[in-house]
Structure 1
């Protein structure tokens, strides 16, 4: 076992961290990790298969898509291992599926009329401040989908939001993970059955308007999903 990990188990002892999962997942909890993505890669190398869901109470070297993610105890930090049977040029679309799932889970926990928005292509904002995000990594034919969400109030100096600070006072990481895991598999199935258009429709309804039909950002800042998420190889 990597020295930055703690012993794993299917559910944590702390009831605030416990979550419920659809049967398609193989969940595994570790109290402290370097990063959930790194652990998912290690598990893939050790023979794990699609559906593995790693989650942690704390990360010592949490990673966003383009940099570190502060990960103190009290947040949601998870990664799902996928073994895609669809073309690699569509793998970046899963980032939009994941961010829609994370935002939907957060919206269910926040009070009505709270300003929840999406920032293309992988961030969740509450009242204009970042509260969570998703990231994609590939490794030997696997696609690793990471998700991170601030639950507890931010530490001093953070310019981020949190669900508790913005009105979801009784929310726990386990409750947020339960919602995200359910929505992710539901939206992934919708994307598989109906195509990217169904996901884009939901994101546009939440105010993310400047999207082309491939999920890229239009206008002067035009950028493709592939360019943002980087090289994802089967």
Structure 2
């Protein structure tokens, strides 16, 4: 089921509040807003509230035998990729960027935010369907720049279906096939990256794939590999 709100502060915050209050939140249901007045992205950033864009959240309740909850960012990324590929059938122009972005021709098209509340992982997704924000530190784009503006409700239904399918694969087959498919949809190994780990300055290197648990492997200039479990990642060519 997809529940639509005309306006709210944040769909992620709404689902977190429902979980915290003990309200029954059903896995597979989505909360989608026409407008968000306090939307947020990673690192506390404000998420752009563009009319006609997709802004929605869903909750996952990991089981004891499921892969690690942070790897749900890879699950969400694949669901996004497959959904957008149905509207923009040019795989060479789409790429996933660790941990949570979908790029179109190297510019940010969509982002993912995971937040934990009790036993729930709330997955928030924002997609520039109609409009893209002007950001000082990165290039952005919208699907409207490449064709007709996708219908938001149809996009929501498609994304919900793809997310459910990817979640089932994650549970049934584990993380390894998810990582293989994610890498096939990502920018190639050797891509120059700038990473800002929490509490540190920036670190530069090249993309060297993912670890078996879904962390980023960054090849440093001296040839050593550094494993990144959290941080803000930029493609050097993406900065603008």
TM-score by length of 1: 0.78
Residues 134 and 72 of structure 1: is their aligned pair in 2 closer, same or farther, counting only changes over 3 Å?
same
Structure 2 distance, partners of 1:197, 1:126, is 25
- Structure having the higher strand fraction is 2
Q: Deviations over 1:15-41 (max 9, x none)?
A: xxxxxxxxxxx3211011111101111
Q: Equivalences for 1:98-117 in 2 at 5 Å?
A: 98-112=76-90, 115-117=93-95
Residues 137 and 156 of structure 1: is their aligned pair in 2 closer, same or farther, counting only changes over 3 Å?
closer
1:222 paired with 2:224, answer no
1:211 paired with 2:210, answer yes
Q: Which of 159, 163, 166 is equivalent to 2:143?
A: 163
Q: Which of 97, 107, 122 is equivalent to 1:119?
A: 97
**After alignment, is 43-52 or 124-133 more displaced?**
43-52
SS in 2 for 1:147: strand
**After alignment, is 82-91 or 134-143 more displaced?**
82-91
Q: Equivalences for 1:40-189 in 2 at 5 Å?
A: 40-44=15-19, 45-51=21-27, 52-66=29-43, 67-86=45-64, 90-112=68-90, 115-154=93-132, 159-165=139-145, 167-189=146-168
How far the C-alpha of 1:65 sits from its partner, in A, is: 2.1
SS in 1 for 2:140: coil
How far the C-alpha of 1:206 sits from its partner, in A, is: 1.4
Residues 34 and 87 of structure 1: is their aligned pair in 2 closer, same or farther, counting only changes over 3 Å?
farther
Q: What is the count of residue pairs matched by the alignment? A: 201
Q: Which of 9, 33, 48 is equivalent to 1:34?
A: 9
SS in 1 for 2:83: helix
Structure 2 distance, partners of 1:196, 1:168, is 34
| Structure 2 residue ranges without an equivalent (≥5) | 190-208, 221-225, 233-240
Q: Deviations over 1:50-71 (max 9, x none)?
A: 3231110111111112222112
Structure 2 distance, partners of 1:97, 1:88, is 12
How far the C-alpha of 1:111 sits from its partner, in A, is: 4.1
What's 1:17 paired with? none
